[in-house]
Amino acid sequence: MNERPANRLPIKTQIISPVSAAKIYDAVDKEIAAGRQAYVICSLIEENPDNEVKSVQAEYKRLKNSVFGHRSIGLLHGKMKPAEKDEVMQDFKNKKYDILVSTTVVEVGVDVPNATCILIENADRFGLAQLHQLRGRVGRSGYQSYCYLMMSGNSKPSERLREVEKSNDGFYLAEVDMQLRGPGEIYGRMQSGALNLQIATLADTKLIAQAQKAAKWFVESEDISRYAGLTDRVRYYQRLTTLN
C-alpha cells in the first residue's frame, strides 16, 4: 500500500528537547480536554541507575502524581501477564484511561482511533523503523494526530530523527534507514553495513525486476547443467536462501 486510508490526515511530527517538555504536556492535555487520548512511550520497564533513560514505571508515577494528576493514566509493559495486558488495552480503547504509559509492546497490532497524541521519550535511542511503527499508533481516525519525539538531552537531533520528523512515508523511510545503517548481506549473516551486491542497490527495484525476469528466462530456456560453474553457484545460493 502506498497511500493512506480515506479521511486520514498526515501525522504532525515534532522533535522536542527536554526544556520544551512543559509545552508538549500542555498540548497533550488540550487534546485530552477535547475528548482524545494519548500514549507516552518509554523503552525501559524499570529504572536503571547506570543510565538516564526513562522507564514506564517511574514515568507512570511521575505523570500520575504531578504533570497529569487530573487525568486517568494506565500502565502497560511486557512483564505483565497476557490477561493483564489485554485488560489494560481494552480499558484504554474503552476510554477508561486518558493516557497510556507503555513500552514498545504497542508498536504493532494496536488500534485505538481516539488516540491522537504519542510522546516518545528518549526518541534518539530508537531506530528509524521503530519510531515510524510507534507513530502509527495514532492517526488512525479522521482527527488530526501528533507525534512528539522527545530527545534525551539538548544536543543536535540526529539525521534519523530529522527524517522521521519530515516524512510520514514508510517506503521512503525504509530506504533512508537502509542508507543510514546499511542493509547488510543478501546471502550472509550481517544485518547492517555495506550491501554485497555488485551493481544494484535495493532501491533499484526496476533493475532488480529486470534481472529477475532475465534470470528466470535463462533458467527456463537453457539447460544450466551444461555450465558447471554456474550450476554450482546456483546450488550454493539456493542452500543459503533456504538456511536464511
Q: Give the residue extent of every domain in the chain.
A: 12-181, 185-244
**Per the structure block, which three cell numbers stand in for 100?**
497510556
Q: Could you report the per-residue pLDDT of 166-175, keeping only the tens digit for each?
A: 999 988 888 8
Mean per-residue pLDDT for 184-190?
Answer: 50
pLDDT band at 244 (very low <50, low <70, confident <90, very high): very low
What is the residue-wise DSSP string for the chain? --SPPTTPPPPEEEEE-GGGHHHHHHHHHHHHHTT-EEEEE-SBSS--TTS---BHHHHHHHIIIIITTTS-EEEE-TTS-HHHHHHHHHHHHTTS-SEEEE-GGGSSS---TTEEEEEETTGGGS-HHHHHHHHTTS--SSS--EEEEE-SSSSPPPHHHHHHHH---HHHHHHHHHHHH----SSSS--SSS---SS--TT-HHHHHHHHHHHHHHHHHS-GGG-HHHHHHHHHHHHHHHH-
Instruction: Check residues 114 and 191 and name the one with the higher pLDDT.
Output: 114
Give the C-alpha distances (Å, rounded to integers) separating 104 from 178, 185, 201, 224, 231. Answer: 22, 27, 31, 49, 46
Mean per-residue pLDDT for 201-213?
Answer: 73
> Rounded to two decimals, what is the model's pTM?
0.74
Instruction: State what percent of residues in the chain have pLDDT above 70.
Output: 84
Q: Is the pLDDT of residue 231 over 90?
A: no
Q: Could you report the per-residue pLDDT of 36-90, keeping only the tens digit for each?
A: 999 999 999 998 877 789 999 999 999 999 999 999 999 999 999 999 999 999 9
Instruction: Check residues 38 and 153 and name the one with the higher pLDDT.
Output: 38
CATH number among 3.30.70.1350, 3.10.129.10, 3.40.50.300, 3.90.1150.10, domain 12-181: 3.40.50.300
* Euclidean distance between CA atoms 60 and 102, whole angstroms: 9
Q: Is the pLDDT of residue 148 over 80?
A: yes
Q: Is the pLDDT of residue 191 over 50?
A: no
